[in-house]
Structure 1
Amino acid sequence: MQQRTKQIVAITSILILMGFLLAQPIKGLVNEDKGTAVSNTDAASNISLEWVSQQAKQGLNASIIKEISDIEAQLPSASGPEKIDLLQQLATKWDDVNRPAPLGFVYEELATLDNQLTYWLKAGDAYRAAYTNLQDTATVAVLNGRAIQAYEKALELDAANLDAKTGLGSAYVSGTANPMAGIALLQEVVKSDPDHLEANKSLGLFSMQSRQFDRAIDRFKTVVSIQPDAESYFYLATSYENIGLKREAIAAFEKSRDFAADPTLTQFINRKIDELSK
């Protein structure tokens, strides 16, 4: 049940992300605005595990909130292996209810206590997932900064790690004034491993955001050949649609519908297919 809930949440977010991608060009790649940078010092000081935990508990079942709060209450007096065990339990709870923001903070604390590559990677991935659909730019900037720091820590432990390079490259593109450095990292990953799933997916999404739909198509064709799912076929279909390839778009939308577990996405796809069939 938990896995299905997470899948439905992820698929529903496709429509939100799609609208964001096509409405917000990447700074430095297309339609760059020359404005004044906003300081995020105040936001950074307010965003902590305690704060994101409080926010993330909103809307959760009371029994789940109690389970999480009980673990949190034990943390201040815990140390060593006991604290690591409690944090691992807490990470599992947040992951089960698909709350990536507190999950990122928990994995970062785990990594601080036990300097493992896996913890830093999971912290970075959780932070990136947390800010993907956020509209609060100050919070996005803080979480993006923490993601970058986590991936950099991972690369200190393994300078050749492709997953860390992928995460770092994606974070650079989406949240810094130097997106081309991120693109270069992602291209370095796919040069080393042409079938790297996340690097191809990230390059595909950024190609869509910069309206280079032909490049996005190439990336998502690679992605669906490795791991077909509703999300990737949806992005492939949308890319085809944007360059006028209706037949190919319909075929990809139909594939996305086959994998979809969310009736909202299915209904949206059906409408798109009807529109493209006229």
Structure 2
Amino acid sequence: MASRSRSHQLVILAIALALVAGLFLLPKVMVKPKEGKGELSQDAARTANRDGGGPATNGSKAIASSGEQEQTADPVAGTPEQPHQQATAEQSREIKQLAARYNKERDPQARLRVASDLAAKYKAIAKFDSAGYYYEQVAIARPGEQAWKRAADEYFEAFGFAATEERAKTLSAKTRELYEKVLKNNPDNLDAKTNLGMAYMASDNPVQGVTLLREVLATNPRNEKALYNLGILSIQSNQYDKAVERFRELVKVNPSNVNGQFYLGVSLAQTGAKDEARTAFTKAKSLSSDPSLAASVDEELSKLE
């Protein structure tokens, strides 16, 4: 289970299946399976990104270009993309002060320290693209695998909560750019490769995303994140038999994976295996005290009657 704290929220399938998401916890997202077999939508990429990523909160500030040297927009202004978390007055004050220092600072080393502080402050209020921008400035000055990945991870979080297709494409492109730099430094970074694969799902080349995820599993067949994301994509394309295979393997690797159990139940129900679906749903419910999960499980169990 991911170590950092995440809020529990409800996930819903457009086919009326209430799903539990978050690689191990619950973010909020609408999942819409496609009509045709094998067709993967950009919603699938953002869904599995949320499911495999960080806090169930949202970035809000528009993406900053790599060449930007100053922040001209209000650094803590909320938008409709940030419904779950707002900066406190103290956080707002600190960020504004740091932004002013960053814009005025001429000493390169001091400027990088301020950039790191700003990134951490933005991350704390779930403005992930702003955090990514400042971490990217640090990586440009001090490039390396971990520096690039820290920036890429924040843009990946922002991509996962993009409210529009246009914004998803923009954030996906930045995410891909930075993860490519990570993999240039270390081609064996499977977490970066997995996230890069999901970012490709919102590009003009989604097949490349699936290819990358399969490469991860070829290297590590027990990789929970890759199994989970491929399972989500199988559901998204109505390939429920394949989804069952992915989620069966996931819960074999980690029987305590709440979402793996829940999505296994969803997939089994769609294939008509009602008894097995009941077992998976009941297992998911036993692994969490979240009332929204319990309600979702009860609703899905009632549909199996």
TM-score, reference length from structure 2: 0.72
* 1:24–1:209 CA contact under 8 A, matched in 2: no
State which of 38, 46, 64 in structure 2 corresponds to 1:48: 64
Distance 1:261 1:66 in 2: 37
Partner of 1:22, secondary structure, is coil
In structure 2, give the amino acid aligned to 1:255.
Answer: K
Equivalence for 1:197: 224
Residues 99/242 of structure 1: CA separation in 2 closer, same or farther (3 Å cut): farther
Residues 112/31 of structure 1: CA separation in 2 closer, same or farther (3 Å cut): closer
State which of 265, 269, 291 in structure 2 corresponds to 1:263: 291
Shift in Å at residue 126 of structure 1? 2.6
Shift in Å at residue 21 of structure 1? 4.3
Equivalence for 2:31: 20
In structure 2, give the amino acid aligned to 1:245.
Answer: A
The 5 A counterparts of 1:138-149 are 138-149=166-177
In structure 2, give the amino acid aligned to 1:20.
Answer: V
Corresponding position: 1:82 with 2:110: yes
In structure 2, give the amino acid aligned to 1:92.
Answer: A
Q: CA RMSD in A?
A: 3.1
Residues 113/259 of structure 1: CA separation in 2 closer, same or farther (3 Å cut): farther
Shift in Å at residue 149 of structure 1? 0.2
**Runs (5+) with no aligned partner, structure 2:** 11-19, 42-61, 66-70
Shift in Å at residue 137 of structure 1? 1.3
Percentage of matched positions with identical amino acids: 26
Question: Which has the larger share of helix?
Answer: 1
Equivalence for 2:268: 240
State which of 191, 199, 211 in structure 2 corresponds to 1:184: 211
Shift in Å at residue 203 of structure 1? 1.2
Report Cα offsets for 1:179-215 as digits up to 9, x if no partner. 1122112111111111122222221111111111222
Distance 2:121 2:194 in 1: 26
* 1:155–1:161 CA contact under 8 A, matched in 2: yes
Equivalence for 1:8: 8
Report Cα offsets for 1:252-271 as digits up to 9, x if no partner. 22232234454333322222
Shift in Å at residue 141 of structure 1? 0.8
The 5 A counterparts of 1:149-160 are 149-160=177-188
Equivalence for 2:46: none
* 1:104–1:122 CA contact under 8 A, matched in 2: yes
Would you say how many aligned residue pairs link Structure 1 and Structure 2?
Answer: 258
Report Cα offsets for 1:74-98 as digits up to 9, x if no partner. 2223343333333333333333344
Distance 1:25 1:154 in 2: 35
Shift in Å at residue 15 of structure 1? 6.8
Report Cα offsets for 1:111-153 as digits up to 9, x if no partner. 2222121232233333233222433111111100001101111
State which of 84, 92, 101 in structure 1 corresponds to 2:129: 101
